[in-house]
Amino acid sequence: MKKSTKFAAAATGALLLTGGLTAAANAGSAPASAPSKVPAVLPAVDLHPAPEAVVAQNRISAGASADAVSAALAKCQAEKLPFVTVALVDRFGTVQALLRGDNAAEHTIEAARQKAYTAAAFGTPTSELSKRINGNGPSIADLPGTLFLAGGVPLKVNGVSVAGIGVGGAPDGMLDEACATAGAEAIAGTPK
| Category of 124 on φ-ψ map: left (φ > 0), alpha (ψ -120 to 50) or beta | beta
Instruction: Determine the length of the chain.
Output: 192
- The model's pTM: 0.72
| CATH number, residue 156 | 3.30.450.150
Is the residue at 72 inside a domain? yes
Domain that holds residue 75: 62-187
pLDDT of 127-186, one tens digit each? 999 998 877 778 888 889 999 999 999 999 999 999 999 999 999 999 999 999 999 999
Residue 42 · residue 167 · CB < 8 Å: no
Number of domain units in the chain = 1
pLDDT of 63-113, one tens digit each? 999 999 999 999 999 999 989 999 999 999 999 999 999 999 999 999 999
d(CA 65, CA 86) in angstroms, rounded, equals 11
Name which of 127, 126, 155, 145 is nearest 68 in CA terms. 155
Is the residue at 19 inside a domain? no
Is the residue at 183 inside a domain? yes
Is the residue at 73 inside a domain? yes
d(CA 24, CA 43) in angstroms, rounded, equals 26
Residue 59 · residue 90 · CB < 8 Å: yes
